[in-house]
Structure 1
Amino acid sequence: MRALILAALAVLTATGPVAAQDLAITFDDLPAHSALPPGETRVGVIARIVAALADAGAPATTGFINAGGLETEPGDRAVLDIWRAAGHPLGNHTWSHANLDTVGPEAFAVEIARNEPILEGLAGDTDWRWFRYPFLAEGQSPAVRSAARATLKARGYRIASVTMDFSDWAFNEPYARCRAAGDEAGLARLEALYMASAEEALAASRALSGRLYGRDIPYVLLMHVGALDARLMPRLLAMYRARGVRLVTLDQAMTDPFYAADRAVSESPQALTLENAARSAGVAVPARMDVQTEAAALCR
């Protein structure tokens, strides 16, 4: 499978765009994710992300919120207002970014419900009943998994799957650290690693989907509203455009049959990811770059 990724990367980096491929970008942890570099604000971060999406002609892009932080930082409400003013919908990521496997299904149900009033108040005519599991933790035991899904189904949610992820969250704290230290070499390496990880994730998802289904499914990309995400968003979106990616909404991507269990919130033995689908089919999941370890070591 490592060879499949290398072959896919070769295709992606060849001159000229490849065939159009649908991708829904989603953002977790609104209104506040990770550390901020000196001089940055949450409002500034979200404004740059929104501007980059607009410049790229991106469609409505779903952001998943943890409203609990507004109790200590009420000014962060402006982040959600900016997001909605730009026409982007919101979904539920629990009140305090609770890990289902840590808090249990009963407390998890409370977390889901507690997040709903602000979602409903901001939604307008958009559908806010999309749910993204914090930490992508869907329940290690069948009983916990089933209980959480029962809660989500009863409350009318669809589950937002993840079929592409390049660990963007791991870059934002090191970015703040490198900026504070004025470490230009560290910043350059961090940015190069971020972009390389994004390209590798695109190639890996396409390789697995091709191996499993003989086609590209519409992918759902997990991202976060971090300061480095904001800085590199124009470059990231330009890379996707050059690679033949067509941005679509979460609703559009998840009409694909691959996502049926999450769309209907029906029983599923494991999270709907390409990696889990490959393991179930006996297909080896290729190794990926360990970007988290390298990023964490920068600017120390």
Structure 2
Amino acid sequence: MSEPISPNGPVKVAITVDDFLQWKMVPFPTGYSAERVVSSLTSAFADFGITDCYAFFSTGPMEQDPSLREQVEAWCAAGHHVGNHTHNHASPDWVPASAFTADIKLSEDYIGSFIEAAPVKYFRYPMDMWGAEAEKVADIHHFLAKENYIPAPVSYWFYDAQFVAPYWRAVESADSDAAAWLVRTYAETAVDQLRRHAAVSREMFGRDPIFISVFHGTAVTSDSVRPMLEALVAAGVEFVSLEKGMRDPLNALPAPMHTRLFRNSTQKWADHLGVSFEGTPPLETLSRMEAVSPREGMSYEDVFGAMRNHAAKEVGGTVAGGEFDWQSAVRPIHD
């Protein structure tokens, strides 16, 4: 067993998965697919006793490929659930409130029956961005309340989306050493970031809350999920359901600030209380990943910048810019 996450005993984590269909403008690498990802996740979850896991995914890819519905069916057939994550995956800061709520309704055209079949009708904001304008946030929450949605926050993440582009480059370059390093680093980063989130939470609240985690249904996750779960268990993590996680007041109560920045709820609380959050994001790790298997047009910003711009345009808006305020500090580090 590795060093425990907390000196107070096991830390409870509710696993959730975002975007296992990926996104418009971001295809799977050669040899990977939504089917492969869903199969990998459901198999690993069964072996680790993770049940009733909620998936939140933008349904835009289903517009391009209706057969992806089969993977949603496979996910639910394995005993898991689906929430709403909008159709196009745009931040509320990029579009008017009316356009954002219309995008939530549009997603129901594709997966509404799955959402209604879940024990709880959850909604997750794309990128866990709840919006910077209080009036707009209130308008969106009014809509969610009318539609019986409960917003499901993220209180722990480890920047797994930043692994997508380097793993894609490694796969397309047949760079097996780089791919293996990324899989190891994925698991190590998951544990390191949970340790940091837990330490900051104990400083702010005097206890270990139940963390609501997220990772994305991507190629790198499909190959890393087992070593990542093994590493978390070895560090004393106990997996619980999202419903149980939402009973913790720190998840049930929205963080007390509005921001356009890429922050989960624990980070928002730290910003609000003026508590330092050292090592989050893990800038050195992200910089080393940026140097992996370089290919023209496949940096993190190339890949996700195009995705974000397309998402905003699809909903009639534009990317505000600057949300990922730490990204400018990520520069390729070559070993």
For this structure pair, what is the TM-score category when the shorter chain's length is used for normalisation? 0.7 to 0.9
In structure 1, the residue matched to 2:95 is: 103
**Aligned CA distance change for structure 1 residues 37 and 31 (closer, same or farther; 3 Å):** closer
RMSD of Structure 2 on Structure 1 (CA)? 2.2
1:60 aligns with 2:48: no
1:269 aligns with 2:263: no
Alpha-carbon displacement from aligned partner over 1:226-273 (angstroms, at most 9, x marks no partner): 0110111111111111111111111101101112334xxxx9533771
Q: State TM-score, norm by structure 1.
A: 0.88
What SS does the aligned partner of 1:22 have? strand
Q: Distance in 2 between matches of 1:124 and 1:286?
A: 40
Please state how far the C-alpha of 1:128 moved relative to its aligned partner. Answer: 5.2
Return the match for 1:20 from 7, 10, 31.
Answer: 10
Return the match for 1:292 from 277, 286, 305.
Answer: 286
| Structure 1 contact 120–128 (Cα < 8 Å) conserved | no
| Structure 1 contact 62–91 (Cα < 8 Å) conserved | yes
Q: State TM-score, norm by structure 2.
A: 0.79
1:161 aligns with 2:160: no
Stretch deviating more after TM superposition (133-142 or 272-281): 272-281
Return the match for 2:220 from 216, 223, 228.
Answer: 228
Q: Distance in 2 between matches of 1:279 and 1:172?
A: 27
1:143 aligns with 2:135: yes
1:38 aligns with 2:30: yes
Partner AA of 2:29 in structure 1: P
What SS does the aligned partner of 2:138 have? helix
Q: Distance in 2 between matches of 1:230 and 1:148?
A: 33
Ranges in structure 1 where 5+ consecutive residues have no aligned partner: 1-9
In structure 2, the residue matched to 1:92 is: 84
Please state how far the C-alpha of 1:46 moved relative to its aligned partner. Answer: 0.9
In structure 1, the residue matched to 2:75 is: 83
Alpha-carbon displacement from aligned partner over 1:170-195 (angstroms, at most 9, x marks no partner): 11222121011111232233223212
Q: Distance in 2 between matches of 1:71 and 1:125?
A: 21
Please state how far the C-alpha of 1:117 moved relative to its aligned partner. Answer: 3.7
Alpha-carbon displacement from aligned partner over 1:10-36 (angstroms, at most 9, x marks no partner): 84389xx98222100111113235442
1:168-179 map, 5 Å: 168-179=160-171
What SS does the aligned partner of 1:51 have? helix
Partner AA of 1:68 in structure 2: G
Stretch deviating more after TM superposition (187-196 or 214-223): 187-196
Please state how far the C-alpha of 1:143 moved relative to its aligned partner. Answer: 1.8
Q: Percent identity?
A: 27
1:127 aligns with 2:119: yes
Q: Distance in 2 between matches of 1:274 and 1:12?
A: 20
Q: Distance in 1 between matches of 2:63 and 2:5?
A: 46
**Aligned CA distance change for structure 1 residues 83 and 169 (closer, same or farther; 3 Å):** same
Please state how far the C-alpha of 1:206 moved relative to its aligned partner. Answer: 0.9
